[in-house]
């Protein structure tokens, strides 16, 4: 008994179960100690360290921090290891199994005795003591607990009481059948922790079973108690130590010595140390008494708490079975818990019922993480509810017409759908994520509202054809809206052109001055682009206007439905020919988003031009204060932000198209849930493009052109040089020769630092005698611009024709100009 109690004898005993080697001594520290103190102190420190080991470290492997997850550990020797055990005989091949140790909650105390030889009260799950005859070299700990939890089974907790342990390494667990059984239904992963103990023997695995959950709760409480005890013990220890130190300092031996001489000397330290060691026994006794008292008090209060908690737990179990499933807060007030449980149960029942709605074969509600990840209602409800209701109305009418439901049921459903639409628009409809999407929400709400008849709505229909129908209807409407915004912008641009009919500006290629052009000509070039965007959208709308409804999930239906009737009702051209195609493809969205992307690029280029022209360097454009912002710290600034953002948001619109392209890239026919992801890019693209069109229109309505600045920039850059080439060609000089002659003329102008029109006829004739007096009709931008005559050119007549065309096409009428009415001065008659 004494041997176990003191532990010290075990350290050197070869017959002990766990021989504890001497603790390692840091050689540096040892050298310091030797130099400063006598051998007495060295020995004393060593002895104290050893004692501490015996006192504070268990003579076994301590799995204390695992205990809340364990009830059984099986320890086996590694079959590969044949090394000699620490202090033991050579391992034989037939001694493959080192030991088989079974731990249960009842066998979990350490030595069972405290240092005074008094029997400790057994505390459950406190520490595991394996009956292993040798200290194993390598321990593989395989625990069906959370990996994070297992990571704590390192040097601190998996201790042999011998040496500092090397690092712990984790590796993927080998899952066996029993492990799988234990893991099933639990949201945890097994982990393996290898631990090198460094003392000879080797074991293969420690197999740890999970304790039932309700026991885990007890164990956790037990762990908390352990922590509380430890902190009491520490504070007692500290106070005892402090008082011992104080008494040592004031002891006679120190008083008789000249303290000033000793203060910094090693002798002083030695004296203190000796005194401490002499007081050690006293101190230990005092400490033990205090610890005993504290422990007793703690045990008693813990027992009282245990009884109370056990009673509460039993009470809870009476009315809520879920406490078997790992509910861990046992301190909360019972009534509050009861209410929460009832609420949760209702919620769960509701979810399970919903699951049944989705499919009778499901017994359980969908996991919350999955629900959050897979629902689409939060992203689509506002956009799609109306089209879903419109689609359902058409479908139910057709079902009644075909005799698949009664007229009464049809009317009940139609009225119910109207009511749901009203509730949604009044903001009173409850959109539920557990009902996944807009379709299930509306259908389930209808069933809640009108009962049995509503259960017939989904006859001969699937969400696959339903969502495809909703989307085609939505795109059709969205295209209609964009067309209006495109037209508004065109009208604003034509109006600007009409306001600036004869204004010549430098035309650029490579952003270098090239030829003079009329501003209206340039503005109308954007109008042309937007017209093609319009055409693309109209084509897209025509192509998508076919009805998928009735395609079912993919294969159609065996019920006698009339797809043409539904198609007509929804104003589609006709039903889609192929039911698989009807639910599979989203090419109509791709086409729509491509068109949007092209429109955005056009807007971006317009934005870039206007941003450039707003700069001090160009100064061609003056933007109204209503459409610009100032710099926060630069007072004089007037930033054309809207057009910068038009340029910037183009990235989103192009991104939306790319998202959808990539989304569709790898999908086999027919419907795949991936397609649910088509909505966000679709909605975003449309919303962004509409915003861009709106703001560009506003900008166009709010700008004016700085004629002075533009005019002063015209003479530079020999913008009339090309017209001079035309003059020579008209005189019969081959184009290449004409080009060369004009090149030399420009060089002369540069040398003489003058414009072409300023060169004298003699100078020109020195270059080539073909020049005559009439050359001056071609020189200068005002003359030059008049010479353009080809169809679509910048010549005033041609631009006038173009303007006429757009005024007619866009049905623009000139408004009466009132005193206060500045813009728009033109408006579309539509």
Which position has the token pair 């183009």? 650
Task: Indicate the residue among 211 and 675 with the shorter CB distance to ligand AS1.
Answer: 675
Task: Indicate the residue among 185 and 359 with the shorter CB distance to ligand AS1.
Answer: 359
What is each CA distance from 28 to 163, 269, 364, 391, in whole angstroms? 18, 19, 65, 85
Of 826, 807, 715, 731, nearest to 774 (Cα)? 731
Which position has the token pair 């509460």? 312
Q: How far is the CB of 549 from ligand AS1 (least distance, A)?
A: 13
Helix 334-358 and helix 266-319, axial crossing angle in degrees, nearest 10 = 60
Q: Which two tokens stand for residue 248?
A: 């040592």
Q: How far is the CB of 440 from ligand AS1 (least distance, A)?
A: 8
Cα 741 to Cα 763: distance, rounded to the nearest angstrom: 12
Task: Indicate the residue among 127 and 583 with the shorter CB distance to ligand AS1.
Answer: 583
Task: Indicate the residue among 75 and 398 with the shorter CB distance to ligand AS1.
Answer: 398
Q: Which two tokens stand for residue 451?
A: 């009962």
Residue 718 and residue 753 in contact, taking contact as beta carbons nearer than 8 Å? no
Q: How far is the CB of 441 from ligand AS1 (least distance, A)?
A: 10
Q: How far is the CB of 673 from ligand AS1 (least distance, A)?
A: 6
Neighbour-count burial of 136, counting CB atoms closer than 10 A to its CB (0-12 exposed, 13-18 middle, 19+ buried):
buried
Q: How far is the CB of 391 from ligand AS1 (least distance, A)?
A: 13
DSSP code of residue 113: B
Cα 771 to Cα 749: distance, rounded to the nearest angstrom: 15
Strands (E), 697-802: 703-705
Cα 272 to Cα 279: distance, rounded to the nearest angstrom: 10
Q: How far is the CB of 466 from ligand AS1 (least distance, A)?
A: 7
Q: How far is the CB of 485 from ligand AS1 (least distance, A)?
A: 27
Residue 366 and residue 351 in contact, taking contact as beta carbons nearer than 8 Å? yes
Q: How far is the CB of 432 from ligand AS1 (least distance, A)?
A: 14
Task: Indicate the residue among 103 and 683 with the shorter CB distance to ligand AS1.
Answer: 683
Q: How far is the CB of 376 from ligand AS1 (least distance, A)?
A: 5
**Cα 59 from chain centre:** 50
Task: Indicate the residue among 445 and 517 with the shorter CB distance to ligand AS1.
Answer: 445
Assign 138 to helix, strand or coil. Answer: strand
Task: Indicate the residue among 377 and 728 with the shorter CB distance to ligand AS1.
Answer: 377
Q: How far is the CB of 676 from ligand AS1 (least distance, A)?
A: 4
Got the DSSP string for 30-68? Answer: HHHHHHHS-HHHHHHHHHHHHHHHHHHS-SS-B-GGGGG
Cα 216 to Cα 17: distance, rounded to the nearest angstrom: 30
State which H helix or E strand residue 204 sits in.
strand 201-208
Task: Indicate the residue among 554 and 784 with the shorter CB distance to ligand AS1.
Answer: 554
Cα angle 169, 175, 178; round to 5: 130
Other Cβ atoms less than 10 A from the Cβ of 747: the count is: 11
Task: Indicate the residue among 70 and 438 with the shorter CB distance to ligand AS1.
Answer: 438
Q: How far is the CB of 642 from ligand AS1 (least distance, A)?
A: 34
Task: Indicate the residue among 279 and 586 with the shorter CB distance to ligand AS1.
Answer: 586
Cα 822 to Cα 315: distance, rounded to the nearest angstrom: 81
Task: Indicate the residue among 376 and 723 with the shorter CB distance to ligand AS1.
Answer: 376
Query: What value does the CA radius of gyration of the chain take, rounded to a whole number of Å?
Result: 45
Q: How far is the CB of 540 from ligand AS1 (least distance, A)?
A: 21
Cα 497 to Cα 705: distance, rounded to the nearest angstrom: 11
Cα 81 to Cα 201: distance, rounded to the nearest angstrom: 8
Q: How far is the CB of 453 from ligand AS1 (least distance, A)?
A: 20
Task: Indicate the residue among 137 and 476 with the shorter CB distance to ligand AS1.
Answer: 476
Q: How far is the CB of 433 from ligand AS1 (least distance, A)?
A: 12
Of 217, 218, 208, nearest to 182 (Cα)? 208
* 73 backbone dihedrals φ, ψ, rounded to 5°: -130, 135
Q: How far is the CB of 464 from ligand AS1 (least distance, A)?
A: 5
Cα 335 to Cα 409: distance, rounded to the nearest angstrom: 46
What is each CA distance from 4 to 132, 263, 364, 572, in whole angstroms? 16, 42, 55, 92
Task: Indicate the residue among 671 and 699 with the shorter CB distance to ligand AS1.
Answer: 671
Residue 696 and residue 603 in contact, taking contact as beta carbons nearer than 8 Å? yes
Q: How far is the CB of 406 from ligand AS1 (least distance, A)?
A: 24
Task: Indicate the residue among 253 and 382 with the shorter CB distance to ligand AS1.
Answer: 382
First-to-final CA distance of the chain: 107
* Total count of residues recorded for the chain: 830
State which H helix or E strand residue 653 sits in.
helix 641-665
The sign of the CA dihedral 38, 43, 45, 48 is negative
Cα 465 to Cα 398: distance, rounded to the nearest angstrom: 15
What does the binding site for ligand AS1 look like in residue numbers (CB under 6 A)? 376, 437, 462-464, 467, 553, 671, 675-676
Task: Indicate the residue among 288 and 684 with the shorter CB distance to ligand AS1.
Answer: 684
Cα 830 to Cα 825: distance, rounded to the nearest angstrom: 15
Task: Indicate the residue among 18 and 671 with the shorter CB distance to ligand AS1.
Answer: 671
Task: Indicate the residue among 91 and 462 with the shorter CB distance to ligand AS1.
Answer: 462
Cα 564 to Cα 574: distance, rounded to the nearest angstrom: 6
Q: How far is the CB of 671 from ligand AS1 (least distance, A)?
A: 5
Which position has the token pair 């998996």? 158
Task: Indicate the residue among 191 and 590 with the shorter CB distance to ligand AS1.
Answer: 590
Of 780, 775, 788, 516, nearest to 767 (Cα)? 775
HSE at residue 168, side-chain half, CA atoms within 13 A, is 20
């Amino acid at each position: 008994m004494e041997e176990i109690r003191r532990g010290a004898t075990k350290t050197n005993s070869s017959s002990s179960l766990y021989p504890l080697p001497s603790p390692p001594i840091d050689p540096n520290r040892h050298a310091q100690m030797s130099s400063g103190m006598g051998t007495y102190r060295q020995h004393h420190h060593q002895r104290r360290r050893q004692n501490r080991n015996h006192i504070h470290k268990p003579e076994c492997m301590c799995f204390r921090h695992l205990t809340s997850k364990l009830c059984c550990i099986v320890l086996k020797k590694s079959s590969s290891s044949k090394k000699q055990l620490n202090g033991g005989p050579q391992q034989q091949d037939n001694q493959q199994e080192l030991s088989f140790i079974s731990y249960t909650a009842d066998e979990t105390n350490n030595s069972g005795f405290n240092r005074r030889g008094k029997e400790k009260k057994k505390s459950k799950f406190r520490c595991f003591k394996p009956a292993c005859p040798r200290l194993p070299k390598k321990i593989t700990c395989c625990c069906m607990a959370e990996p994070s939890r297992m990571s704590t089974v390192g040097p601190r907790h998996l201790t042999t009481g011998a040496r500092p342990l090397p690092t712990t390494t984790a590796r993927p667990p080998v899952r066996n059948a029993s492990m799988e059984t234990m893991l099933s239904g639990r949201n945890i992963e097994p982990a393996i922790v290898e631990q090198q103990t460094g003392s000879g023997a080797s074991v293969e695995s420690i197999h740890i079973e999970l304790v039932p959950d309700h026991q885990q709760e007890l164990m956790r409480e037990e762990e908390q108690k352990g922590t509380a005890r430890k902190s009491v013990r520490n504070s007692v220890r500290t106070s005892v130590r402090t008082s011992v130190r104080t008494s040592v300092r004031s002891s006679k031996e120190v008083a008789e010595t000249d303290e000033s001489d000793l203060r910094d000397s090693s002798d002083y330290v030695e004296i203190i140390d000796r005194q401490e060691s002499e007081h050690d026994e006293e101190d230990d006794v005092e400490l033990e008494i205090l610890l005993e008292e504290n422990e007793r008090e703690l045990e008693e209060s813990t027992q009282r708490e245990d009884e109370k908690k056990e009673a509460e737990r039993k009470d809870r179990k009476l009315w809520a079975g879920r406490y078997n499933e790992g509910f861990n807060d046992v301190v909360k007030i019972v009534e509050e818990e009861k209410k929460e449980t009832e609420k949760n149960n209702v919620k769960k029942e509701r979810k399970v019922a919903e699951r049944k709605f989705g499919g009778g074969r499901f017994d359980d509600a969908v996991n919350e993480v999955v629900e959050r990840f897979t629902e689409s209602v939060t992203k689509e409800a506002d956009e799609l509810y109306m089209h879903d209701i419109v689609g359902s109305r058409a479908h139910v009418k057709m079902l009644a017409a075909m005799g698949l439901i009664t007229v009464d049921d049809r009317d009940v459903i139609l009225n119910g759908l109207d009511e749901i639409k009203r509730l949604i628009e009044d903001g009173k409809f409850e959109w539920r994520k557990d009902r996944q999407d807009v379709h299930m929400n509306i259908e389930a709400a209808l069933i809640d509202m009108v009962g049995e008849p509503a259960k017939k709505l989904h006859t001969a229909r699937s969400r696959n054809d339903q969502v495809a129908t909703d989307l085609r209807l939505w795109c059709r409407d969205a295209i209609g809206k964009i067309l209006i915004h495109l037209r508004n912008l065109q009208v604003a641009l034509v109006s600007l052109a009409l306001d600036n009919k004869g204004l010549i500006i430098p035309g650029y290629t490579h952003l270098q001055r090239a030829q003079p052009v009329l501003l209206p000509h340039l503005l109308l070039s954007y109008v042309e682009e937007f017209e093609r965007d319009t055409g693309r959208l109209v084509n897209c709308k025509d192509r998508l206007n076919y009805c998928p409804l009735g395609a079912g999930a993919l294969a159609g239906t065996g019920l006698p439905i009339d797809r043409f009737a539904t198609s007509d009702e929804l104003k589609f051209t006709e039903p889609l020919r192929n039911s698989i195609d009807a639910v599979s493809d989203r090419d109509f969205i791709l086409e729509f988003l491509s068109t949007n992307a092209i429109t955005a690029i056009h807007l971006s280029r317009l934005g870039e031009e206007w941003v450039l022209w707003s700069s001090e360097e160009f100064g061609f454009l003056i933007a109204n204060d209503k459409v610009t912002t100032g710099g926060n710290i630069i007072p004089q600034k007037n930033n054309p932000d809207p057009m910068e953002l038009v340029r910037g948001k183009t990235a989103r619109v192009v991104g939306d198209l790319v998202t959808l392209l990539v989304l569709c890239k790898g999908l086999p026919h027919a419907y795949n849930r991936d397609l649910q992801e088509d909505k966000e890019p679709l909605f975003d693209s449309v919303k962004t493009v509409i915003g861009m069109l709106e703001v560009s229109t506003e900008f166009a309505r709010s700008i004016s052109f700085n004629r002075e600045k533009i005019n002063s920039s015209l003479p530079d850059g020999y913008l009339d040089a090309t017209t001079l080439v035309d003059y020579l060609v008209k005189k019969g000089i081959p184009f290449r020769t004409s080009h060369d002659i004009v090149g030399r003329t420009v060089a002369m102008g540069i040398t003489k630092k003058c414009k072409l029109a300023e060169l004298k006829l003699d100078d020109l004739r020195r270059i080539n005698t073909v020049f005559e007096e009439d050359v001056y009709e071609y020189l200068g931008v005002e003359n030059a611009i008049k010479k353009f005559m080809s169809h679509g050119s910048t010549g005033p007549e041609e631009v006038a024709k173009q303007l006429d065309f757009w005024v007619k096409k866009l049905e623009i009428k000139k408004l009466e100009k009132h005193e206060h009415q500045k813009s728009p001065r033109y408006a579309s008659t539509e």
